[in-house]
Chains A and B, each alone.
Chain A
Amino acid sequence: MTILKVDKLSKHFGGLIAVANFNVEMEEGELVGLIGPNGSGKTTIFNVITGLYKPTEGRIYFDGKDITGMRPDKITALGIARTFQNIRLFSELSVLDNVKVGHHLRLRSSPFAAAFGLPGYKREEEEIDRESVRLLERVGLADVAQEEAGGLPYGLQRKLEIARALATRPKLLLLDEPAAGMNPEEIRELMDFILRIMEEFNLTVFLVEHHMRLIMGICPRILVLDHGVTIAHGTPDEIQNDPRVIEAYLGVEEDEDA
């Protein structure tokens, strides 16, 4: 079943065409990678899907529902969660509270009930507490639950951001360069982590990444973007041998890495 369908999406910023005629269809449970050089429009696509930007043209369907131009919090409530390239945690809140914020969208009690600590609210709060602790255990952050999120080491901050996204109970998770700034050891661990949570939480994952090994290693299907235009689409093997990709991306990247 198709879970996400992006149809002829374009996003212009004044005269700059950040994304032009982008199309993708994702099946439930799929892991799709999106690569491209810096400034090729990957993050813009994420921002449009999650409602932070309004598209200039095109439509986005999630679970068969048109979500084009909806508010970000409504889109999250429908089941799309994301992480950010430059980690955006609630730095001064504790690790546990960061995850608890992810549960807020399902809270039924009114602010009145919360302010007076009515029994209905207390029950919900206990439930949130229990679930948040369990989620932290599942992702391996239980030891640092009471620490301030901003003080965590980089790798754990990445993990916490994913945990917070999971707390909203998404069907589709958008990961924006989760491996940025990680060493090969951490990247291997991250690959396992992504595959594990996909399985455990029944997720579909859309992954933007710069890091070739990560994306070639775990994504069965990859899209390549250059200057907002989709220049290739296929399996890792097909992508690696596509002359346009090599020209636009891999060749340059290889030189830089060397």
Chain B
Amino acid sequence: MRKQIPRILTIISILVFFLFLWWAEANLDPYLRRILNLIAINIIWAVTFNLIFGYTGQFSLGHAGFIAIGAYVTALLTLSPAQKEQSYFLSPCIWPLSNIQWPFLPSLILGALLAGVFGILIGIPSLQLHGDYMALVTLGFAEVIRVINMNLQSITNGSLGLKGIPEYTNLFWSWGCAIFTIFIVWMLGNSSYGRAFKAIREDEIAAETTGISVFRHKLMAFVIAAMFTGLGGGLFANLISTIDPNLFSFLLSYQVLTVVVLGGVGSITGNILASTIYVSLFELLRPIDQPMTFGSLTIPGRPGMRMVLFSIIFLVVILFYRRGLMGSNEFSWQWLFSKLRPIFKRRRMEQGE
């Protein structure tokens, strides 16, 4: 019975959270809703990156590539034929694609599956490598995907990008997918497969001689991560409604890496925390880009000024929390109770006096 309590608390808090989303969807202004959506999407990317990097110990910088595949596939399938005809003015959209328009769910699923297929294609060569070499090769593959998107004029509309993607993504889609991703990665991470992933991270040779097929498990983690990353990409495209290839440059992979390192490598709750902080801070610091006046001193507005401050904040965090905000620990209800108990005890004692 005691074992069930944390699980019940988790389910209750998820239900309460969805009640909040239901309220937010109807009452919050679009700007705040968008921030909440972006937090959910960033959580998906961070958690999948964590599966490859935090659990399996493979340093991949190819996330932007999988995001791009998910985004483009979902966007192209949900775009209306009329919109396609309008956008593709350099060379017309190729035939079957020009006529189809799918509902959101199957488009998302196909986007995720195709990202998974690319995960296999990219994973097979790059997972043979170790450490920095693997990072370089995956980074390269993501760039290849960007350049291909740039040049497949009659499919992706090249550097003109896609406009008018239907804004299907709402809080239920984004958070529903985020919670599903967290659930899968959490369950997998705590299963026998998760132990095998972590064994590979700890010592590849020992894992091999303990009977774990190292390559198969690395590929498994990589492909599952690629699929869910693509899912996040699809949500992203249908949230911002305009995409172009340069949106998915290596900077996006670094953004995911930043979030994961900030939250703590190997900690899913750390990923969630860091995604929330990262996206919120990014918006909260917006005024810094505006012109500012301190008494007689006037600083002209410089776009990108907030990135300077952001870097400083990031530096300070890493200085004091060398292993990220959560390290490799997870939030647990037991931990919360152990923190709360002394506070209640003190209060009770004070009341008694």
Partner-B contacts on A (CB < 8 A): 50, 52, 71-73, 76-77, 81-82, 84, 88-93, 97, 100-105, 107, 109, 111, 114-117, 121, 124-125, 128, 164-165, 167-168
Contact with A along B193-212 (1 / 0, CB 8 A): 10110110011011111111
Question: 29 A-B contacts, Cβ less than 8 Å apart?
Answer: A50-B209, A72-B209, A73-B211, A76-B209, A77-B211, A82-B209, A88-B205, A88-B206, A89-B202, A89-B206, A90-B206, A92-B198, A93-B195, A97-B195, A101-B195, A101-B210, A104-B196, A104-B210, A105-B210, A111-B191, A111-B193, A111-B224, A114-B191, A114-B192, A115-B184, A116-B187, A117-B187, A124-B192, A125-B191
Q: How far is the CB of B227 from chain A (nearest CB, A)?
A: 12
A167 to B210, CA, bound (A): 9
- A residues within 8 A CB of B202? 89-93
Q: Flag if B191 contacts A121 (CB, 8 Å).
A: yes
Contact with A along B207-222 (1 / 0, CB 8 A): 1111111100000100
- The residue from B187, B206, B210, B213 contacting A71, defined by CB atoms under 8 A apart: B213
- A residues within 8 A CB of B193? 104, 107, 111, 114
B290 at the interface (CB under 8 A from A): no
Q: Please give me the residue from chain A that is nearest to B198 by CB atom.
A: A93
A82 to B187, CA, bound (A): 30
Given contacts A93-B202, A114-B187, contact A103 B209 (CB under 8 A): no
A104 to B220, CA, bound (A): 15
- A residues within 8 A CB of B258? none
Q: How far is the CB of A77 from chain B (nearest CB, A)?
A: 5
Q: How far is the CB of A84 from chain B (nearest CB, A)?
A: 7
- B residues within 8 A CB of A101? 195-196, 199, 207, 210, 212
A124 to B192, CA, bound (A): 9
Given contacts A90-B203, A92-B202, A114-B188, contact A76 B195 (CB under 8 A): no
A125 to B188, CA, bound (A): 12
Listed residue (B187, B209, B213) with the most chain A CB atoms within 10 angstroms of its CB? B209
A5 to B198, CA, bound (A): 34
A93 to B195, CA, bound (A): 8
- B residues within 8 A CB of A114? 187-188, 191-193
Besides A91-B203, A92-B202, A102-B210, 17 more A-B contacts (Cβ < 8 Å) are A52-B208, A52-B209, A72-B209, A73-B214, A76-B210, A90-B203, A93-B198, A93-B202, A97-B198, A101-B212, A103-B192, A104-B195, A104-B196, A115-B184, A124-B192, A125-B191, A165-B210
